[in-house]
Each structure stands twice: as structure tokens, then as C-alpha cells.
Amino acid sequence: VSVFKDESKLSLDYVPPRLPHRDQELKSLASHFRSVIENPGNVAPKVIITGNIGTGKTVLSKRFGEDFQKYAKKKNLNLKYIYANCRESGSFFNVIKNIIIQNYEPTLPQRGYSSKELLNNFMRILDKKNSYALLVLDELEALVKKEGSDPIFSLTRIHETRPPNAPQRISIIFIFREPERERIFKLLDKSTLSTLGHSIINLEKYTSKQLEEILDYRIQEAFKENAVPMETIKLIADLSAPFGDARFAIELCWIAGKIADSQYEPKVLPEHVRKAQMRAHPSLRIEDLRFLSLHEKLLLLAISRQLRGCEDAYASIGDVEETYRVVSEEFNEKPRAHTQIWKYIQSLSATGLISTKVSGKGYRGKTTLIGLYVSSENLEAELSRMLRMRKK
Ligand SMILES: Nc1ncnc2c1ncn2[C@@H]1O[C@H](COP(=O)(O)OP(=O)(O)OP(=O)(O)O)[C@@H](O)[C@H]1O
Ligand SMILES: [Mg+2]
């Protein structure tokens, strides 16, 4: 027996029919793209969706894309919705190549093209078929990190190289995860910015109450009736609310269900959720943290704060020490001296949580640089919670 009715409804690829608390955003997308159907060929809107991790960027764009393609068909417009994950594709060239191969011409010759030529090729294919496309380019920040603003630049200008009366065929949804958007916008030139700047849909973090409703709905699809009591749903929502992250909430719920099954329990109980929580960040083993001394925890928290939201892969030990003093004060602890901090750094690096190396070019003098092997965001959340609990 199992608490689940249909586990696949919790998989990340599944796009649920409804998206509670994203109605406004769906409406907003519809109003941005309505003109594509009313005025085919005359417009090709470009819209940006941003938001923190797990705020529903991917699922929102997929829900909209599928619905929009259906609606276009009903209105006799030959429009295809195409989803591309830029991080998985690895390069702009591959993004465009995969779009063409998977949707239009499986035998496209691949050598000797530049990505610009490929893009023109794509346009010719659409011309030939008298077809339109709604592209969703997800996790675009991965591409910008590697190739700068060129891909966005070419995409926002595809139609400019065409004769004045040629129909505009490619509408686009760009997706950026926060907090990358700001950095990416700095890379863009004024005219690209002004083309894009007016059509941004920002997804706020979900509140605990919203997460509760989302969970309730997703649980109805995936779990047997009454297998997840309200008490459990509320706990999951509360635990996920600091991140506002629906993915974390759903993952927690799924793992808790697995634990309930393994114990032959017919219901998912709060204790299953508490157990699940230890496993919900795949890159971070909570057990690793529990055995750290108080000041190792404070130092590790300082390292994750230092690295979070900054572009550098490493933090210098000087900066870390400074943050560590601030963190110590915050938790009413007297900071340890430099030599002791050194020892902590060494023991932390032995646990495999951090890495250290000596600075090379680009730094004045030699300094020790510290990197993290786990997500700073997860680590910071976890450590803050442990340290707060100790205070009580
Ligand atoms: N409003 C909602 N209703 C139902 N399910 C939702 C909702 N928002 C998000 N989800 C679910 O939460 C999970 C995370 O959503 P999604 O993958 O779209 O987030 P994201 O913003 O793309 O995150 P990331 O920045 O990590 O890519 C998915 O399983 C998705 O189906
Ligand atoms: Mg996503």
C-alpha cells in the first residue's frame, strides 16, 4: 500500500492544469501576446519573466505556452510553442540548433553555421511554412554567463535584418532567475534594454498561506484522499515559506510521503516531514552540519553570506573574517582570534563543505580564498535555523 495515488504528478516535468496564485501573471502574459493572434506578422512581443528559485517561472511559461498554442489553433493561426532550457543546451548555438532539429528539420546540416546564420535559417523555415513561434528560453542566465549579452542582442533583433514588409514570426519569453537579472541588465545596451524593459513579469516569493493552497491542490492530484492531513500541509508550508519556494515544498511533501510508505503508515505525519527536511536539499547533508562546533557554524554562516549574491566563486579570508565578526555579534558570541579562525577553516575544509586555495592573479598580494561546495542559499538557511534554535 502507498499514500500515493499518482506520484508522477509531483515530477518536475509535469505541468498541472491550474496554477493557484499565478492567475494575474497568466492574464498578463495573455495580454502581452494577444496581438500575435489578432495581428499576425505585425508584432512579435518579447517578455521577461523573473523571480526567485521555485516561484513558478518554468511552470508558468509552460502552462501559458501550451494554452496559447491551442488558442492560436482555434483561431486558425499556425503557431508553435517551443520550450528550450538554455542551461541544458549549453550554448546559444545549441539552443537554436535543437529548436530547429527537434521541431522542424531533423536533418539540418550542422557544420559551418554561425548562430546568427542558424537563426536566419530558422526564420526561413518559418517563412516557408507560413508558421509562427512562441519561444520560451528558460534559465537564460546560464547562457549570458558564458556568452555575455550577444544571444539576447541577436534575439531581440531577428526581425530587423529582414525586409520591411516581412512578417514578424518569433515571439519570445525570456526567463531569468533572480538575483541574476540585475547583473544581466547591466550588460545590455540601451536600445535592447528599452525593447525589453517594459515587459517584465516578476514572480514574488510565495507566502506560507499561498504555499498551503498550492500544496493542497498538488496533493489532491498525487496522494490518496486524506493521506496528507491539514496539520502536515501547514507544517510543510511553514517550513518552505522562508524561501517562498514551491519546488522545496513539493519536494518535501514527496519525500515525506516516501518516508511514510517506508514505515507502512497510511498517513503522512508531521514527523515524516521533519525527517524529510533533512534530505530535501540534495546538495547539503544536514548531518554534516550538526557536528560542527558553535564557532565553526558561525564561520560557515559568514562564508555563505559572503558568497551569496556576489559574482565571485571565492571569498578572501579577510572578507570572511569581517563577516564572521558581524555574525558573531548577531548571535551574541565573542569572535575568536585570527589563529583560531585559521584552524576552523582547516577543519571545515576537511569536512568537504568548503575548499581553500591561494589567490593568483587579480588580487593584491597573496591571500587565502575560500569556496563552498554546497549552495550558499541552502547552507545559510540551514545554519541560521540551527543557530537561532540554540539561542532559544
Ligand atoms: N502556482 C503553482 N501551482 C502549482 N504548482 C506550482 C505553482 N508554482 C510552482 N509550482 C510547482 O513548483 C515547482 C517549482 O516551480 P518551477 O520549476 O516553475 O519554479 P522556477 O521558478 O522555474 O524555479 P527555478 O528558478 O529553480 O527554475 C514545480 O514542480 C511547479 O510545478
Ligand atoms: Mg525553472
Q: What is the pLDDT of residues 13-48, one digit of tens each?
A: 899 999 999 999 999 999 999 999 999 999 999 999
53 lines ligand 1 (CB under 6 A): yes
Least confident residue range of 30-39, 52-61, 173-182, 338-347: 173-182
Strand order in the sheet with 354-358: 315-316, 368-372, 354-358
Sheet with 79-85: strands ordered across: 79-85, 132-138, 170-177, 46-51, 200-203
Task: Say how many Å lie between the CA of residue 30 and the centre of ligand 1.
Answer: 19
Helix (H) or strand (E) holding 202, with range, is strand 200-203
Q: Between vectors from CA 357 to CA 352 and to CA 361, what angle results, nearest 5°?
A: 150
What is the mean pLDDT of the segment spanning 186-191? 79
Ligand showing the shortest atom-to-Cα distance for residue 56: 1
pLDDT tens readout for residues 100-121:
999 998 887 767 788 888 999 9
Say if residues 114 and 61 touch (Cβ distance below 8 Å).
no
pTM: 0.75
Contact criterion met (CB below 8 Å) for 150 and 107: no
Contact by Cβ (8 Å): 134, 69: yes
- For residue 140, the CA-to-ligand 1 centroid distance in Å is 16
Given a contact cutoff of 8 angstroms between Cβ atoms, the answer to whether 278 and 269 are in contact is no
DSSP-assigned letter for residue 95: H
pLDDT tens for each residue of 330-377: 999 999 999 999 999 988 877 667 878 887 666 566 788 898 877 788
- Give, for ligand 1, the residue of 59, 136, 233 to mutate: max count of ligand atoms closer than 8 Å to Cβ: 59
**Does residue 83 have a pLDDT over 90?**
yes
